[in-house]
Amino acid sequence: MAVTYDFIYELMRAYNGSNLLVNKWLIGGKVEKFLDIENSVMQYIKMNGQVQRFQSIHFSVPFYLRKEKKIEEYLRKIEQNVFKNALLPISDEEIDNYNKYWKLDYIGYVFEIDDNEDNIAIWRYKNKLMMFSLHRGKVLSDAFQIFFKPLAYKGDA
């Protein structure tokens, strides 16, 4: 039986119809270019010739917000004030695809990436940089497939 890691990772919309995405620790979404957000997580994913950028921040819903309407208002403020309404649309199919276990054949940890290389993920947080390749580098467990998905979870960075 394959390990699916969904106990670590599940991507969903922050509220109905939103392009703001959330998993257990981070909130954010797909952006055209990275925004100037302090201590944000920036992901650059290049798969099959297509480049996607995802940016997110650590978050939690304040304990005193209990009603769905108040929580949605709080999330909308994050979308407006932090992400400046700059999030790109994301389809339900894309979200479903990211939530699947991909069973990647090879994941390597690399220290530099050729601009022409395909199938890469770059994960940046607090001036730390992690780069992954599906072609070369130090062999890693397929648990690292989460780095090829938006809003990946890395624990304490």
The model carries a pTM of: 0.88
The more confidently predicted of residues 154 and 25 is 25
Is the per-residue pLDDT at 8 higher than 70?
Answer: no
pLDDT digits (tens, 9 = 90+) for 106-145: 999 999 887 778 888 888 888 888 999 999 999 998 888 8
Gap between the Cα atoms of 143 and 40, Å rounded? 22
pLDDT (average), residues 32-49 = 91
Q: How far is CA 66 from CA 28, 57, 60, 61, 129, in A?
A: 21, 22, 13, 9, 36
* Residue 149's pLDDT band (cuts 50, 70, 90): confident
* Residue 152's pLDDT band (cuts 50, 70, 90): confident
pLDDT digits (tens, 9 = 90+) for 48-83: 888 999 999 998 899 999 999 999 999 999 999 999
* Residue 43's pLDDT band (cuts 50, 70, 90): very high
pLDDT digits (tens, 9 = 90+) for 97-107: 888 888 889 99
Is the per-residue pLDDT at 156 higher than 60?
Answer: no
